[in-house]
């Protein structure tokens, strides 16, 4: 079987994939990060200044690399999902999935019939995927696209088993910051109650066929998570990287 999605190939082989979130509609930034060796770019349509018109350019900027372009969609609605998929996204990321019904909606949006209700229109996706015709793309899309949900609310923790029972979910990524906010603990991702909720989600995900994902803001944190069974690792975001490097360069200058 030819695997077209390099990130799905890694995850299916049990290997970890490390990526970075981008909030800026910058083709240059996307090219640099894709070429730096990240396994995926998390293109964010929920926050930041990226809009639908720039998603195509950011997806195209990953061409020629082993970096899979993923797009976070504000919510699982067909009208929001189709432009990103038809531009060549290799997966969609859905925030705030808190119920089984919401998880089922993601499956419907990302897949062509009979598994889903995605409409026909892959005019640009085949080129990004290295295919010649839309029909070739249609034949592999349902198999190769990644469906990634974010577990980022205490309601999702309460409903975790029913969410994970939905066929067609590939990755469940635990987002501690929003989870902490939903628990009335903003900014406290290491609070004991937040950690307890995360542990509950981890156990459920690891006991399912779904890949466990989460945030890792350092190599040490990533390695610790890999040892615990994480395979989808989010290593930060573009603004944070620029701020950190800028601070390092300026630190210690006598001025």
Residues recognised as catalytic: 47
At residue 65, the pLDDT reads: 95
* pTM of the predicted model over 0.85: yes
CA distance 252 to 137: 53
Q: Give me the chain's average pLDDT, please.
A: 95
Are 212 and 231 within 8 A, CB to CB?
yes
Report the pLDDT averaged over residues 229-246: 94
Whether 1 has a pLDDT exceeding 70, the answer reads no
Q: H helices of 111-218, where?
A: 125-128, 134-144, 154-158, 160-164, 176-182, 192-206
Cross-strand pairs, 211: 171
Q: Which helix (H) or strand (E) holds 168?
A: none
At residue 254, the pLDDT reads: 87
Neighbouring residues of 129: CB distance < 8 A, sequence distance ≥ 6: 4, 88, 90, 137, 140, 144
Cα atoms in the Cβ-side hemisphere of radius 13 Å centred on 162: 12
Percent of the chain whose predicted confidence (pLDDT) is above 90: 92
Dump pLDDT digits (tens) for 146-171: 999 999 999 999 999 999 999 999 99
Report the pLDDT averaged over residues 21-41: 96
At residue 2, the pLDDT reads: 57
Dump pLDDT digits (tens) for 180-214: 999 999 999 999 999 999 999 999 999 999 999 99
Range name among 71-85, 145-159, 236-250 with the lowest pLDDT average: 236-250
Whether 101 has a pLDDT exceeding 90, the answer reads yes
Are 175 and 34 within 8 A, CB to CB?
no
Dump pLDDT digits (tens) for 106-149: 999 999 999 999 999 999 999 999 999 999 999 999 999 999 99
């Amino acid at each position: 079987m030819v695997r077209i999605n390099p990130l799905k190939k890694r995850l299916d082989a049990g290997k970890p994939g490390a990526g970075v979130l981008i909030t800026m509609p910058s083709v240059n930034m996307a090219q640099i990060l894709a070429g730096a060796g990240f396994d995926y770019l998390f293109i964010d349509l929920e926050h930041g200044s990226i809009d639908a018109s720039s998603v195509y350019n950011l997806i195209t900027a990953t061409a020629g690399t082993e970096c899979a372009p993923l797009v976070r969609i504000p919510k699982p609605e067909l009208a929001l999902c189709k432009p990103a998929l038809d531009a060549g996204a290799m997966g969609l990321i859905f925030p705030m999935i808190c119920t089984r019904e919401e998880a089922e909606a993601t499956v419907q949006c990302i897949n062509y019939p009979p598994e889903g209700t995605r409409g026909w229109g892959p005019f640009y996706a085949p080129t990004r995927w290295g295919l010649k015709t839309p029909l070739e793309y249609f034949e592999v899309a349902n198999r190769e696209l990644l469906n990634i949900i974010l577990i980022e609310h205490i309601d999702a923790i309460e409903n975790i088993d029913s969410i994970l029972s939905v066929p067609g979910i590939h990755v469940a990524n635990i987002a501690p910051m929003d989870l902490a906010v939903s628990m009335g603990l903003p900014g406290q991702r290491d609070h004991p109650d937040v950690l307890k909720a995360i542990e509950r989600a981890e156990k459920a995900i690891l006991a399912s066929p779904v890949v466990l994902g989460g945030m890792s803001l350092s190599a040490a944190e990533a390695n610790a998570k890999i040892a615990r069974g994480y395979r989808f690792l989010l290593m930060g975001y573009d603004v944070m990287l620029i701020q950190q490097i800028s601070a390092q360069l300026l630190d210690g200058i006598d001025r």
